[in-house]
Amino acid sequence: MKTTTQVCVIGGGVVGCSVLYHLTKLGWSDVMLVERSELTSGSTWHAAGGFHTLNGDTNMAALQGYTIGLYKELEAITGMSCGLHHVGGITLADTPERFDMLKAERAKHRYMGLDTEILSPSEIKAMAELVNVDGILGGLYDPLDGHLDPSGTTHAYAKAARMAGAEIVTHCMVRETNPRPDGTWEVVTDKGTIHAEHVVNAGGLWAREVGAMAGVYLPLLPMAHQYIVTDDIPEIYNRDGEFPHIIDPGGESYMRQEGRGLCIGFYEKPCEAWSIDGTPWEFGHELLNDQFEKIEDSITFAYARVPVLETAGVKSVIHGPFTFAPDGNPLVGPVPGLRNYWSACAVMAGFSQGGGVGLTLAQWMIHGEPAQNSFALDVARFGKWTTPGYTVPKVVENYQNRFSVSFPNQELPAARPFRTTPMYDIWKGMNAVFGQQYGLEVVNYFAPEGATPYEEPTFRRSNAWEPVRAEVRAVRDAVGINEIHNFGKFSVTGPGARDWLDRIMAGRIPAPGRLALSPMLAPSGRLIGDFTISCLGAEEFQLTASYGSQDFHLRWFEQNAADGVTVRNVSDLRTGFQIAGPKARELLARVTRADVGAEAFRFLDVKRMTVGMADAIVQRVSYTGDLGYEIFVDPMSQRNLWHVLSAAGTDLGLRPFGMRAMMSLRLDKGFGGWLREYSPDYMPAETGLDRFIAWQKTAPFIGRHAAEQTRREGPARRLCTFIVDAEDADVAAYEPIWLDGAVVGFCTSGGYSHYAEKSVAIGFLPTERIRDGLEVEIEILGARRPARLYTEPLFDPDGARMRG
C-alpha cells in the first residue's frame, strides 16, 4: 500500500468506485481507494440493481441519464459484464393527481431529449399484459429503465480505475482522518498512515462515522428496505421478451423480472430507521431479519395489481439498509468548513445516480466546479443547524413519500416547526400558513379568519388564491409588510474588503451609503450568486442573497479568502421587515426622526437610523418592484419593531403578506429568482444579469474572461416573459415552450399576477426567435396553452413608483 496519494477515497461501494474511476478518466492517476472489507460491502451488494431516469429535478434526471449511458462504456473498457437489462419501465397513475404529475414530468422530458411517452390503460396492458389496469388512468413509459448486476457493475468501475493507474486496498480499516496545516490529510488505517492531498468520504452506511473522524456531521440515515424474489412464474419465463419494470406508486411498490420470476420492492409507510445512533463497524455482508408485517398491505396491493403473484411462492427475501439524506438526494461536494475534504454520500439510488455522482465530484475536484448545476445534491444545501434530531424524522418522511405525488406547492410537516423567528407566534395568531426554507419557518400567506390555516397540495390553483390576491392588492394599493428573515446575509469588513469584493463580485462595488446589485460568477462565468451589496462604511459591507444558499456562498467566500478581510454569516443575526407599496414612505416617516423624503433617501440608498426604538439598517429597495424599504434589526428588537410599525400603519391600510404574494408581485416586473431564472446552469448574458456586470472596472473578477467571451459571441438563448392563456393551472417550472410545432425552449418559473390578473411565465427562447408579441404555446399538464411574449413590465414599466 502506498503512503502518499493525491486522493484517498474511503469506501468501496458503487459510489466510491465510481468516484475513483472518474478521477482517472479526467486525468488524475495518483489516486487510491481504501475499503475496510470487500468491495460492495454495506448496501451495494444487496441492492435491487434497478435504474431509471425519472426525477423531479431536471439536473438529477440528466445525472441519472449519464449514469445509465455509462454502463456500456465500462463494459467496453474492461471486458466485464454489468449484467445490463434495458427492458423499459412504466410508472402507473391511479389518481388524477398522479396522472397530472406524470404529464408534467413528460413535459420536462421533451426539452431534455428523453424519449418518454404517456400511455393509456390499453397501451399499458399491451406492453405489460400481467398488470391489472382496473382503476389505472394512464402511465409514463421510459425506454431507458432497466436493471443490472450490482456486484459486476461495481467491479467494472474498480477494474477501469485500476487500468488507469488507481490503487485499491481492501481489508484496510480507516481509524482517523487528521487535517494538516497545509490543507492535506493524514488517513490513519490499520495498515499504516496515508498522506493524501484530498479525502473523499464515500463511506455509505458508515459515512456518518467517517465524517465524525473529521469533526463534521453529515445528515443521513440508513433505512431498512425490503424486497422479495418469487419462485418461477410460467407467465414470466414463457413470455416473448423480458417483462418491463413496473412502478406502482399507489401500492408503494416496484417490480421487475428476476430470472424466471419477479423481484418486488416496497417503500412502505410503516418503515424502520436503522442504526439511528451509528452503524456497527462489524456489519457488512449481513441482512436484517425478515419483517413481513411491515409490507403486508403493500404485498396485498401488489398481488391485486399483478394477479399471477397470488400463486407464486417466495424464493428469497432481501431486507437490508441503505442511506438517505433528509430530502432523498445525495450529499456531494466540498464539505463546508474543511479544506480538501469531499463528500460522496447518501446516494440511495446508487445504480441510477452513482456514475453521475462520480463524474460531478471528479469535475469539482479537478476543474474547481462541476459542469452542470449541482445544488440539488450539494452537501452545502444543509447547514450547521441540521442535527440528528432533524435528520431522522425527515428521512423517515422522505422514505414514506418516495412514491407519493409531489406537488409544486406542497409543504411537508416532519421536523416542523424547528427554526423560528421572534415573530412566529404573532404570525401564527394571525392564521399564517407556513412553509419552510433551510429549516426556517416562513409565512406563505395568511388564511382568512375562521379558515383552516392549510394550503391544499395541487397542480392547479389552490385555496390560497383569494387570500394571496388580497395581500397583493394591499401592497399595490396601500402598504404591505413582510418579514425579511429569509435572506442570506453576510458582513464583510476590513481594510481589504472593497478590493476583495471587487474580485469576488462581477458588479460595481457601491460607495458608502449606496447599494448595488451584482452577480457572482464561477471561473466558467456561470452564475453562483445574485447579490445585493450594501456599503455601510469605508470598510464595512452587507451582502444579501438566497437564504437557502448561505452555506454554499460562505464556502465560496472561504475558498477565496484574503488577508485584511473578515466575512461573517449574519443571516440569523439580522432580521426585520420590508414595507412596500405607495404608502410605504409615509409609514417609515411616522416611525423615525430621520429624513426619508424622496431626495434625502433615494432609490438604492442605505442608511443607519433609529426606527421606533431599534437601531436599524434601512435600505431603499424591494423585490416587490414597488416603492419599498428593507429594515434590518437585531432579532431581540424585532417584536417591538413590529408593534411600532403595526400601530403606525393601521390607518394606512398596512397588511402583512407572505411569500406566495411576493412571488406574484415579482412577476409583475419580470424579476427572476435564485435557482429558477438565476442558477449555476446559466451565464449572466442568458438571464439579463449581464446588465449588472461592471465591464468597465479594471479588477480581474472571477469569471470575467468567460463572461466577456459570451458577451462578444452573444448568448444562444435568453430569458423572456410571457402572458399565458391558462385555465386553472399556471406554470410552475420546466414546462416546454412550443413554436412552429417543435419544442424550442422551457419555462424557469411562473404563476399568476394578481395585480395584472394574468397568468405569467418566464422562460428561455433562442435569441434569434425573440420579438415582442411572439405567439408560442406552453405545455401545462399535457395541454398546450397559447402564450404571448411581452417586453414591458406589467407594473410600473418606467420605474417611476419604485424610484420616485
Mean pLDDT of 591-620: 98
Assigned C-alpha cell, 97 = 393527481
Quick one: which of 164, 94, 91 has its CA closest to 128?
91
Rounded to a whole number of angstroms, the CA Rg of the chain reads: 27
Report d(CA 560, CA 503) in Å as an integer: 10
Q: Please determine, for residue 56, whether its predicted confidence score (pLDDT) is greater than 80.
A: no
The residue length of the chain stands at: 804
Is the separation of the CB atoms in 574 and 632 below 8 Å? yes
Nearest-angstrom CA–CA distance, 188 and 214:
12
Q: What is the pLDDT of residues 570-597, one digit of tens each?
A: 999 999 999 999 999 999 999 999 999 9
Neighbours of 802 (CB within 10 A): 20
Secondary structure, 3-state, 188-249: EECCEEEEEEEEEECCHHHHHHHHHHCCCCCCCEEEEEEEEEECCCHHHHCCCCCCCEEEEH
What residues contact residue 285 under an 8 Å CB cut-off, 6+ apart? 37, 38, 41, 45
Average pLDDT over residues 259-282: 93
The per-residue pLDDT for 55 is 79
Collapsing DSSP states into helix, strand and coil, what is residue 355? helix
Q: What are the phi and psi torsion angles at 628 (to 5°)?
A: -165, 165
Residue 350 belongs to what H/E stretch? helix 350-367
DSSP 650: G
Q: Is the pLDDT of residue 263 over 80?
A: yes
> For residue 578, what are the β-bridge partners?
482, 630
Per-residue model confidence (pLDDT) at position 529: 97
- pLDDT band of 660, cuts 50, 70, 90: very high
Domain ranges of the chain: 464-485+573-669, 486-571+672-682, 716-802
Instruction: Summarize the chain as % helix, strand, coil (round to 5).
Output: 30, 30, 40
Give pLDDT, residue 298: 87
Distance in angstroms (rounded) separating the CA atoms of residues 565 and 557: 10
Cα distance between residue 784 and residue 797, in whole Å: 29
What confidence score (pLDDT) does residue 276 get?
96
* 464-485+573-669 and 716-802, same CATH topology: no
Q: What does 96-139 look like in DSSP terms, one character per residue?
A: HHHHHHHHHHHHHHHHHT---EEE-HHHHHHH-TTS--TT--EE
Report residue 294's pLDDT band, with 50, 70 and 90 as the boundaries.
confident
Please determine, for residue 132, whether its predicted confidence score (pLDDT) is greater than 90.
yes
Stretch 356-373: mean pLDDT, rounded? 96
| pLDDT for residue 750 | 98
pLDDT for the residue 92 = 97
Q: Cα–Cα distance between 467 and 458 in angstroms, integer?
A: 16
Report pLDDT digits (tens) over 457-466: 999 999 999 9
* Tens digit of each residue's pLDDT (9 = 90 or more) over 234-252: 999 999 999 999 999 988 8
pLDDT at 777 over 90: yes
pLDDT > 70 fraction of the chain, expressed in percent and rounded:
100
Q: CA-CA distance, 388 to 535, in Å (whole number)? A: 39
Going by pLDDT thresholds of 50, 70 and 90, the confidence category of residue 278 is: very high
Instruction: Say how many Å lie between the first and final Cα of the chain, rounded.
Output: 71
Query: Sign of torsion, CA 472 475 481 483?
Result: positive
- The residue assigned the cell 429549516 is 439
Q: 251, 257, 242, 236: which is closest to 92 by C-alpha?
A: 251
Condensed to tens digits (0 to 9), the pLDDT of residues 697-743 reads 999 999 999 999 999 999 999 999 999 999 999 999 999 999 999 99
Residue 558 binned pLDDT confidence (cut-offs 50, 70, 90): very high
Whole-number pLDDT of residue 602: 98
User: Tell me: the pLDDT tens digits for 202-221?
Assistant: 999 999 999 999 999 999 99
C-beta neighbour count of 744 within 10 angstroms: 17
**E strands of 331-472, at which residues?**
331-334, 341-345, 432-437, 440-446
What homologous superfamily does CATH list for 716-802? Aminomethyltransferase beta-barrel domains (2.40.30.110)
Burial (0-12, 13-18, 19+ Cβ within 10 Å), 81: middle
pLDDT reported for residue 800: 95
Q: How many CB atoms lie within 10 A of CB 182?
A: 9
* pLDDT band at 58; cut points 50, 70, 90: confident
Element (H, E) at 635: helix 635-649
Which CA distances in Å does 325 have to 100, 281, 372, 402, 459?
27, 20, 21, 12, 26
**Torsion sign over Cα 750, 754, 759, 764:** negative
Q: Which positions ≥6 away from 181 have C-beta within 8 Å?
A: none
Whether residue 333 has pLDDT greater than 90: yes
DSSP letter, residue 181: T
Does pLDDT of 51 surpass 90? no
Closest of 44, 48, 41 to residue 282, by C-alpha: 41
Tell me how far apart the alpha carbons of residues 618 and 629 are, in angstroms, rounded to a whole number. Answer: 7
Task: List C-alpha distances in Å: 461 to 454, 728, 729, 732, 749.
Answer: 14, 6, 6, 11, 15
pLDDT at 416: 97
pTM: 0.95
Sign of CA dihedral 43, 49, 53, 54: negative
In this predicted structure, what is the pLDDT of residue 609?
Answer: 98
Cell numbers 397470488: residue: 310
pLDDT exceeds 90 at position 380: yes
Q: In the predicted model, is pLDDT for residue 54 greater than 80?
A: no
State the pLDDT at residue 48: 79
Written as one string, the DSSP assignment of 27-55 is T--SEEEE-SSSTTTTTTTT---EE----
Q: How far is CA 663 from CA 279, 442, 451, in A?
A: 43, 13, 22
How far apart CA 633 and CA 621 sit, in angstroms, is: 16
Q: Each residue of 468-496: pLDDT tens digit? A: 999 999 999 999 999 999 999 999 999 99
Tell me: the pLDDT tens digits for 517-528?
999 999 999 999
Q: Please report the pLDDT score of residue 44 as a whole number.
A: 80
Q: Which CATH architecture has domain 464-485+573-669?
A: 2-Layer Sandwich (3.30)
How much is the mean pLDDT over the chain?
Answer: 95
Q: How far apart are CA 254 and CA 47, in angstroms?
A: 13
Angle value at C-alpha 786, between 782 and 792, nearest 5 degrees: 130
pLDDT for 284: 80
Task: Quickly name the fold that domain 486-571+672-682 has.
Answer: Alpha-Beta Plaits (3.30.70)
Between helix 350-367 and helix 150-163 the angle, nearest 10°, is 20
Q: So what's the pLDDT on residue 153?
A: 94
Between CA 210 and CA 220, with CA 215 as vertex, the angle to 5 degrees is 55
